Amino acid sequence: MKITSDILIIGSGIAGLSLALKTADHFDVVLVTKKEAVEANTRYAQGGIAAALSALDNFDSHIEDTLTAGAGLCNPSVVERIVRDGPRLIEELTQLGVRFTRKKNREYDLGREGGHSQRRVVHAGDITGNELEKSLLLQAKRHPRIRIFEHHIAVDLILSQKLDPQSPENRCLGAYVLDAPNDIVHTFEARITILATGGAGKVYLYTSNPDIATGDGMAMAYRAGAVLANMEFVQFHPTCLYNPGGRALAANRKMTEEKSFLISEAVRGEGAKLKLIDNTSFMNAYHPLKELAPRDIVARAIDFEMKKRGHPYVLLDISHKRKAFILKRFPNIYKLCKQFGFDITKGPIPVVPAAHYFCGGVHIDLEGHSSIPSLLAIGECAHTGLHGANRLASNSLLEALALADYTSNAINRDLPRMSKSELTIPDWNPGEATVSDETVVITQNWEEIRRFMWNYVGIVRSNKRLERAKKRIELLNDEIKEYYWNFKVTRDLIELRNLAQVAEMIVRSAIARKESRGLHTNLDYPESKETERKDTLISTISA
């Protein structure tokens, strides 16, 4: 079956939904999402959106905090534009019905997180992402020109030069998409295709991300020949609940899957302390801001203390605060920790770092354009230069909103002048692929990738570890390619292929950076170098 539209958006988080809503008044929009539309990384964002809204705050301060966290790799002009548009974008969300937490005087109840010099995080309790996702999705489902295809996972992008080698440019014409419930690959043809697929936290053994975060957009773009940037900069959130074996109440079986439940940065912003198992504080030895230091510093400090002492976790303690305050400010975190058997009002909880956010991705300009015509990218799967070598807390949702805004303006301006492709796109060709009776291969490869990425390409790296990872991923990629072309595509196989591709990009990029900067720490190159203060650009052309 062929589904045709003006705009194809792959992904249903805040970036994809915002873009759909801002273009659908003028064009037909199709949005595909691999599970239910509400199941996106956005939904799991607890903290909020950073914006200079307080009388005590200003744009220059927010800009400076972002540049400081980014460790010399932020694009200053990108930072300035996005920061200055923050208040306007927040106001747009309130007009769409997003209910942010406010004080009695109706001013925003602004939180503070690591790396911020002021309170500037707009939030909806401690479930900001869920509130955003529900509000935007409701508007999208009501719009007559937006069609949403749930349980549809993109397989590969469709390129003009693949169909016709004589085509003057490698233009994107849409994507082949697996209709998972019906086990059919459909052709989705569009004049513009936007990747809004989120991150790739599942490439690591421990992650705060949901199971959908398998780097699909990054991997598809890479296979298509697009340029990606700074894939070595993976942010590990310092504080995820340590819960080996998925300990949970028997009454709630779903909780057994949440082994790395995120404990928001806002908890430290409200005074929580990090301690060793013997209740000794340690962050004062690492940074003047202690618990409110940038995430890369806090994550490395925790990782170092755990390895130095052989401890499986450290403690996070906010129990010195009044119970009423904790219940009001963090009701969801309190509830979920209780389901795991921990009461944050009575004592500390065990936490560990976990893979959380990708600062790199498809290299784009501020209108979403990638290096391939008609292929755009926004959100976590894209790289704009805002985050540099380390993202400042709560700048991610701000970036997603800003890029959806800028990209929609460009599409609304340019799409009416774009001609439609005259190439005939063939249906998906499965070749001689058969149904696999060896799905254990997928499970084995998936687990091996996640484990060696955690051990060799995690918070702290070395030349020897990276070379070991490089050898592993080369062997696994060969094995996965052979398996992929012999058997029918399934969601598990598509995700495994994408994870392996993302792992390869991270390893290649990490090897290329001969220094330590921001989120990339290499024991063999412990210092930052001015000669290395540049983006790491990779593509299949340079592979």
Query: Could you list the active site residues?
Result: 295
Does residue 361 contact residue 377 with C-beta atoms inside 8 Å?
A: yes
DSSP per-residue string spanning 127-178: -HHHHHHHHHHHHHHH-TTEEEETTEEEEEEEEHHHH-TT-SS--EEEEEEE
Residue 454: half-sphere exposure toward Cβ, Cα within 13 Å: 18
d(CA 453, CA 460): 11
For the beta sheet containing 361-363, the strands, ordered from the edge strand earlier in sequence to the opposite edge, are: 382-383, 361-363, 228-229, 537-538
d(CA 372, CA 217): 14
Contacts of 145 (CB under 8 A, 6+ apart): 24, 25, 27, 28, 29
d(CA 46, CA 122): 11
Instruction: Give the tokens for residue 192.
Output: 């513009």
Residue 288: half-sphere exposure toward Cβ, Cα within 13 Å: 1
Instruction: Give the tokens for residue 421.
Output: 């492709």
Helix (H) / strand (E) element for 350: namely: strand 349-358
How many residues would you count in the chain?
Answer: 543
Does residue 27 contact residue 415 with C-beta atoms inside 8 Å?
A: yes
Angle formed by the axes of helices 14-23 and 128-142, nearest 10°: 30
- Sign (positive or negative) of CA dihedral 334, 336, 342, 348: negative
Distance of CA 180 to the CA centre of its chain: 23
Contacts of 318 (CB under 8 A, 6+ apart): 267, 270, 271, 272, 273, 326, 344
